[in-house]
Chain A
Amino acid sequence: MKLIDGIHPYSRLGPMESLEGARMLEQKLSVLSNEVSNIKTPGFKRQRITFEEYFLKQVDATKRTAKGEVIKGDFSQGTLRETRNPFDFAIEGEGFFVVQTPSGIRYTRAGNFSLNAQNQLVTQEGYLVLGDGAPITLPDTTGKGIWLSSDGRFYVDETDTAGIDIVTFKNLNGLKRLGGNLWEQTQASGPPRPSETARVRQGFLEESNTNPLEAMINLVDLFREYEALQRTLKTQDELDSKSATEVGRVG
């Protein structure tokens, strides 16, 4: 967001504002296409882009404003889809799984895990999923299976073996998205704390919370806005050309 500061009193702001608008719509399109592209990504949280107005320096009778965009995550619950796979987990409510990556602790809502050859619970990238702050090792079951209670304890053959950590943050919007279904804490998000409200479900995956209908409507809307901006620019251009060629013509 660049404030156009120190505008010359006689500069014409119309075309500038139109261009500013076009740039923001392009930004909006990027956010939207990322959303529809991740329609099958488990635990994906879509983003919403909104615009804020800033007043610019008063240079003539009209109040001029510039717009700045704000991109916020929409952390609403995605649909839970039953997969019946014992190593698929979905979080109901606010929270993240804790994942140990080579570059440090990261967080994810995509619970499509598996076991590695050492019987540790890992993500599809092979990163360790943590429980009680340590990797979760699940010994082979002798037939009664591996069950996760809804408060996040693993029972292997009915013996309480390990827990799975679910954490949340003061300000979810402060988390940094890293791609690969991972999130990183920042100063703005605050430190992780155990989630009070989250429930884990085994054999389910949380689908992306992309809403195809809304995305489609947004897309149409955005396209028409873009067209309107183009009309405005053309009109401004015609006015300029009239004033240059016709106003002041004598005879």
Chain B
Amino acid sequence: MIRGLWSAASGMNSMQLNLDVIANNLANVNTVGFKRSRADFEDLLYQTIRMPGTDNADGTQVPTGMQIGMGSRPTAVQKIFTQGDYENTGNELDWAIEGRGFFKVISNGEELYTRAGAFKLDKDGFIVTSNGDRLQPEFAVPQGTQSITIDSYGLLTASDPSGNPLASVQLTIYDFPNPAGLFSVGRNLFRPTLASGDPIEGNPGTDNLGTIAQGFLEQSNVDVVKEMVSMIVTQRAYELNSKTVQTADEMLGIANNLKR
């Protein structure tokens, strides 16, 4: 009885966590380069009252055991790195990676990675993210630049009004063996971990890395309809578990009332 109460409570906990994840996904539905998360669950330990295959009183083997589970718990909240949609912004500093790969930026002296390619120029002409973190390799746009172009393979060029190149640099992007293992720092930034593996550097469009699309931004990959449906399911599952808690509670009440 008390066991049932706790199992159902663990179910409510799981559903609460699931809702937190859904809420964060929906809150970031318009965040450039955002990747949605998904919570995964598993069953908890089982109490084995009788092992399958043991002998019963008259010496025959029982084909089924008797095991009672203790509820559920979350095992992982993983980021799903599917491609978001592209939005055509026409802005020369908006870059989307078409395929795998991350831009590298330096934030507070630390190398972090992002897919949000909405870049700006700072007061010294460096290409930075909206938070002011400099894109790597660092590139400062010289005085008198009229236009900045980047081709699909990452060749970044600043040209003067007559179209003569003033400066150029080859931009590299980075991939990970297991992007789902990256640590989300927030602000669209990811930090490599032991689980993600070390960053693999390369030019866009080579060894399995995506190409760069100038004038486009990668939208968040949150599917609102899908999240809404999960929200409904989560709410109902929460309700169902709460009903179990209630039933267990009322049964305890009945047991308590046996002695008047």
Contacts and interface: CB of A to CB of B under 8 A. Distances in A.
Interface of A: 3, 22, 25-27, 29-42, 44, 47, 69-73, 83-85, 87, 110, 112, 114-119, 124-125, 140-143, 171, 173-181, 186-189, 212, 215-216, 219, 222-223, 226-227, 230, 233-234
Contacts of A176: 46, 48, 51-52, 65, 67
Interface stretch (B74-82, B134-142, B159-167): B74-82
Given A114-B180, A216-B240, A223-B251, A41 B45 contact: no
Contacts of A73: 64
Contacts of B180: 87, 114-115
Contacts of A83: 38, 80
Contacts of A233: 258
25 contacts: A26-B4, A26-B251, A31-B68, A34-B70, A36-B237, A37-B72, A38-B69, A40-B39, A40-B234, A41-B42, A42-B40, A115-B178, A118-B177, A140-B207, A142-B208, A173-B65, A174-B64, A175-B52, A176-B67, A179-B44, A186-B51, A186-B52, A186-B65, A223-B250, A230-B254
Contacts of B66: 69-71
B194 interface: yes
Nearest to A87: B180
B8 interface: yes
A37 B71 contact: yes
Nearest to A54: B57
A23 to B, nearest CB: 9
A185 to B, nearest CB: 10
Nearest to B48: A176
Contacts of B198: 117
Contact of B244 (A27, A33, A115): A33
Interface residues of B, number: 72
Interface in B148-206: 175, 177-178, 180-181, 194-198
B86 interface: no
A3 B181 CA distance: 54
Contacts of A30: 1, 3-4, 7, 68-69
A148 B103 CA distance: 30
B99 interface: yes
Contact of B68 (A34, A117, A173, A230): A34
A169 to B, nearest CB: 11
Contacts of A35: 69
- The 8 tightest CB contacts between A and B, nearest first, are A37-B11, A188-B53, A117-B197, A34-B69, A187-B53, A188-B52, A29-B4, A33-B4
